[in-house]
Amino acid sequence: MLRLPPIRLESPATVRDAAKLIAKGNARLVAGGTDLWPNMKRRHQKAETVISLMSIPGLAAIDSSDTDIRIGGTATLANIIRDDKVRERFPAFAKALASISSPPLRNMGTIGGNLCIDTRCTYYNQTEEWRRSIDYCLKEEGTICWVATKSPRCWAHTASDSAPILCALEAVVKLESAEGERELPLAEMYVDDGIDYLSKQPDEIVTEVKVPGTSDSSQCRSSFWKLRRRGSIDFSTMSVAAAVWIDDSEIVTRASMYLGAVGPAPMPVADIASVLVGNKITEDGIAEIAHAARKIARPMDNTDFSPSWRGKMTEQYAAAALREIAGLPQLRMQPRHMLKVV
């Protein structure tokens, strides 16, 4: 059986202790372990010391009593989905989380872990022996990105389903380290590079995610569409998350869209704001934004399905996400094996 390499395991009882330990270097943080352990079993992520955050009391709390919802870094995906307020106020967020892998894995995986999940690529998420047979790749030990052999950069794709929707919802993360703490708009935590995909420093711990509620009179509507082969287990091969704030007269006051799995970071579709804000959602507007989304998407041959079809599907699903928000009938099929509706 595939096993972990020997590790020293630390289970600090406070964030402060964890921060001190991680500051020493040559260590990695783990929460649910559903990303790190497979990666370490395959030996493409390595660490002598692993610091578990799961023994820190209170870090898994979900506070949905206020306008904003605050979620502790080690709150499990399952517990977040189970929270009535989350489901009621941010259904697309709950839907995105419920689309992650499968229920037992969601009992283990955490929000902090999912936001920080390593970028993925079928040339990278392989065992040591397999990677030796391609002489490794740019992301780890090698010199060539096999997805784009002339590329000076790594094209591993973002694999988080919570990231696109939380970016669209303008979530903010709290990062703590031995140096102190800071807040960062989630969208700014991601970098468009398959290797250095986070602006978060390695010694910073995601201790909280704040999903801001709506304070003005606008109503927030959001949607999440995910393309994958099967109705469970699979990562996104492309996803679209959209959030649109609409006032009483159906005029859009704010709008945001992010694409998942079609680039190293969640990709913003900036056109959504210029097309929609100040207007109602129209068929023409949807078509324009969907077209823009397709142009922004950079699907590569590093996951399931062909890049060209994933590109076409980006346009289809961007339109579908906006149609859902606008309450327009869907034109496209959601086969049971592609997208499970929560």
Residue ranges in the chain assigned as alpha helix (H): 15-23, 36-41, 77-82, 84-89, 91-98, 103-108, 111-115, 128-133, 162-168, 271-276, 283-296, 307-326
DSSP conformation class of 120: B
Of residues 187 and 313, the one with the C-beta less far from another protein: 313
Q: How far is the CB of 106 from another protein (least distance, A)?
A: 9
Q: How far is the CB of 13 from another protein (least distance, A)?
A: 11
Q: How far is the CB of 177 from another protein (least distance, A)?
A: 23
Distance CA 64, CA 51 (A): 28
Of residues 98 and 326, the one with the C-beta less far from another protein: 98
The answer to whether 218 and 245 have CB atoms below 8 angstroms apart is: yes
Q: How far is the CB of 162 from another protein (least distance, A)?
A: 17
Distance CA 210, CA 25 (A): 28
Of residues 64 and 302, the one with the C-beta less far from another protein: 302
> Which residues lie near another protein (CB under 8 A)?
1-9, 11, 30, 32-34, 37-38, 41-43, 52, 54-55, 78, 101-105, 107-108, 122-123, 125-130, 132-135, 144, 146, 149, 229-235, 304-306, 308-309, 312-313, 316, 331-333, 335-338, 340
Of residues 4 and 273, the one with the C-beta less far from another protein: 4
Distance CA 339, CA 210 (A): 27
Of residues 61 and 144, the one with the C-beta less far from another protein: 144
The answer to whether 223 and 244 have CB atoms below 8 angstroms apart is: no
Of residues 106 and 174, the one with the C-beta less far from another protein: 106
Q: How far is the CB of 230 from another protein (least distance, A)?
A: 5
Which candidate, 120, 75, 77, places its Cα nearest to that of 99?
Answer: 77
57-63 contact pairs (CB < 8 A, 24+):
57/13, 59/15, 59/207, 60/110, 62/86
Q: How far is the CB of 287 from another protein (least distance, A)?
A: 13
